[in-house]
Chains A and B, each alone.
Chain A
Amino acid sequence: NAGVMQNPRHLVRRRGQEARLRCSPMKGHSHVYWYRQLPEEGLKFMVYLQKENIIDESGMPKERFSAEFPKEGPSILRIQQVVRGDSAAYFCASLGGTSFSSGNTIYFGEGSWLTVV
């Protein structure tokens, strides 16, 4: 059973370009979370999605950032017109089932490291 897959692992973009980060959750998982980790800092929640729905985007910057989790395919975190401050590691996590009672837990991907030059 493959884990949470993120790609690309490393991405370099020039200021003003777009960055697209992809996350394929574990098989059967319908919940996806995105977190950002700035250098030497902890993980900051960005957005929580279920299939085709954004459940909580309270951690997403109001501009330039968007996320989707379509019915088919991976979840995408999109950053438009990147700036140097967007340089960070972006982690995706997935969760399955309908409750924690059956042993479900959150699994993280290996992260995507974005560098803006």
Chain B
Amino acid sequence: AQSVTQPDIHITVSEGASLELRCNYSYGATPYLFWYVQSPGQGLQLLLKYFSGDTLVQGIKGFEAEFKRSQSSFNLRKPSVHWSDAAEYFCAVGNYGQNFVFGPGTRLSVLP
């Protein structure tokens, strides 16, 4: 069965600092991987996705993520965090024609 873990429930970083949010998945085939961001009371916005090819994918808002098959990981990174990045971040895995499983989320707080 497919599953996603996000080991960090809550992360606090200072504005301008770098960020890495961890995501590990379990999936029986080649996974399709996603990162979404959710602000309080809002829906989910797609940050980036990995389908195939280059294992380093670029997304919106300066985010990037690296797919590491050997580690079953798809960690999200940003070199310099802005106060507006404070939100909940969700990693998801799935495949076309199947349901998509989300991780429990990581809440990001940004200190001024």
Q: Which residues of A contact B (CB under 8 A)?
A: 31, 33, 35, 41-45, 48, 55-56, 58-59, 91, 93, 95, 98-101, 104-111, 113
Contacts and interface: CB of A to CB of B under 8 A. Distances in A.
A59 B98 CA distance: 13
A41 B104 contact: yes
Given A43-B44, A45-B101, A95-B96, 14 more contacts: A31-B97, A41-B105, A44-B102, A45-B100, A48-B98, A56-B98, A93-B44, A100-B51, A100-B96, A105-B46, A108-B43, A108-B44, A110-B42, A110-B43
Contact of B104 (A42, A55, A95, A113): A42
Interface of B: 32, 34, 36, 41-46, 49, 51, 90, 96-105
A56 B90 contact: no
A31 B105 CA distance: 24
Contact of A100 (B32, B44, B45, B105): B32
Nearest to B51: A100
Contacts of B41: 113
Given A43-B90, A108-B43, A59 B99 contact: yes
